[in-house]
Amino acid sequence: MNFALTEEQTAIFDMAYGFGQEHIAPHAQTWEKAGMIPKELWPDLAVLGFGALYVSEDMGGTGLSRLDATLVFEALSMACPSVAAFLSIHNMCAKMLESFASDVLKHRVLPDVLAMHTVLSYCLTEPGSGSDAAALKTRADCTNEGYVVNGTKAFISGGGYSDAYVCMVRTGEDGPKGISTLYIEDGTKGLSFGALEDKMGWRSQPTAQVQFDNCKVSAENLVGEEGKGFEYAMAGLDGGRLNIAACSLGAAQMALTNTLTYMGERKAFGRSIDQFQGLQFRLADMEIELQAARTFLRQAAWKLDTGAPDATKFCAMAKKFVTEAGSKVVDQCLQLHGGYGYLADYGIEKLVRDLRVHQILEGTNEIMRMIVARQLLAARWGCPCPVCGWKIDFGNPVPLRPDWALISSCDAIMAQDGNAVIPPHRWWCGWHAAGAAGTGRGNAVIPPHRWWLANPEAISRYAVKTLWYPGHAMRCRP
């Protein structure tokens, strides 16, 4: 097992670091006060290939791996995590378009997206749906010409600043299967923006609500298929979580580097403060945290690149661990600066503010814990389907137990008698209309070979064991 970066990866990191230190770091404080990143910066980054990091080379992108991309964001965040994070959002949107948009839409918009003449924003969150993203309300009604969109998106980085918005909207029923993705360009009639949010951190990024009032969107601007929007939105989150973790890592590393310099210069009680053992222990603890975070992040990125079955779990774990480690380190760096750390001139307090939001976006760290716990529990209970004989693919290797199985495409548990058990909090997934009977514990039971029927015959079984199970759908595979 070789943990060293290749020569190419080292060159990627060095190129991003050099650009950041020359073109971003000297202006970071000014841009924060102005509340705006100059748009002239983005084409310069695109020249280096940073506007299309994981778009394939066939489409004009850079074609980097997810591990390579974390190096870019780690290096750029050493100059300013706010700028680096905004670039991550653009790249996530660009990859969504390459992966799912029609050829017509791709050929029309991708050239300017990759050159960053068109800067993209990602619009999923709404005032009433954050972690519960599938509950979004923004509606897109189909017309002869396309769609009419009504609703509001909240906390949108680049709201009123970006040139186009990749928007998740409801075109069908409640729940994730009723969500589609639309590409909505700035200047579209009916598209407007709220006032800029006055944020704790990421102040150089303009953030605002994105509002749709009978906003008319061409049918050609549908990304992929109707009803697949939530799937598309989730597809980019593993990589997004790695990127935001990399932004925390790079910023924290720069804070530690600057703190080491400061402690060598700052004198107290007749010697530089880096000579006090108690403070040396703090430095050692921070170095240990960052090295562990870096190794964890790169392992998760490697798993995502290689298609490891537990990649999603590792991305969630890395996001939680690295963002919390980064915030802890920059807070300690501020403490070691004393009163000077509290002043804007030293740049440490900006990092404390910028990194705090990393524990909230791309899925809160509470959601990261839920993902990990659910997969641990699912691994404990999974087994082959006794009806079709196939194993269940939920993104992890499954330790088998003979008397339980998860059922394809629903939040169900298979009892050893072959009946599907539907927990009561999941009846909304369609089984509430399927005539399912209660077990006396609030669970519904549906006999085998009848899950696909509109009105399956249901029976009540009091002996069926109750088991809580995560809310994402499963699928069988041979």
Q: Which fold would CATH assign to domain 1-118?
A: Butyryl-Coa Dehydrogenase, subunit A; domain 1 (1.10.540)
Contact predicate 143/171, CB 8 Å: no
Beta partners for residue 268, in sequence order: 271
pLDDT at 348 over 60: yes
Domains of the chain, by residue range, sit at 1-118, 119-235, 236-374, 382-478
Distance CA 385, CA 399 (A): 13
Q: Which segments within 194-336 are labelled E, that is strand? A: 207-218, 222-223, 267-268, 271-272
Contact predicate 349/339, CB 8 Å: no
pLDDT score for 205: 95
Question: Token digits for 353?
Answer: 């503010």
Contacts of 135 (CB under 8 A, 6+ apart): 128, 129, 174
pLDDT score for 380: 64
pLDDT at 72 over 70: yes
Distance CA 436, CA 105 (A): 43
Contact predicate 400/379, CB 8 Å: no
Mean pLDDT of 335-362: 96
| Confidence label for 381 from pLDDT (cuts 50, 70 and 90) | low
Domain 119-235 CATH class label: mainly beta
Active-site residue flag, 57? no
Q: Which fold would CATH assign to domain 236-374?
A: Butyryl-CoA Dehydrogenase, subunit A; domain 3 (1.20.140)
145, 362, 366, 457: the active-site residue: 362
pLDDT score for 434: 35
- Low-confidence winner among 75-79, 288-292, 294-298, 433-437 (lowest mean pLDDT): 433-437
pTM of the model: 0.80
Distance CA 327, CA 278 (A): 21
pLDDT digits (tens, 9 = 90+) for 126-160: 998 888 888 999 999 999 989 999 999 999 999 99
pLDDT digits (tens, 9 = 90+) for 228-276: 999 999 888 899 999 999 999 999 999 999 999 999 999 999 999 999 9
Distance CA 304, CA 269 (A): 51
- Low-confidence winner among 145-149, 213-217, 370-374, 455-459 (lowest mean pLDDT): 455-459
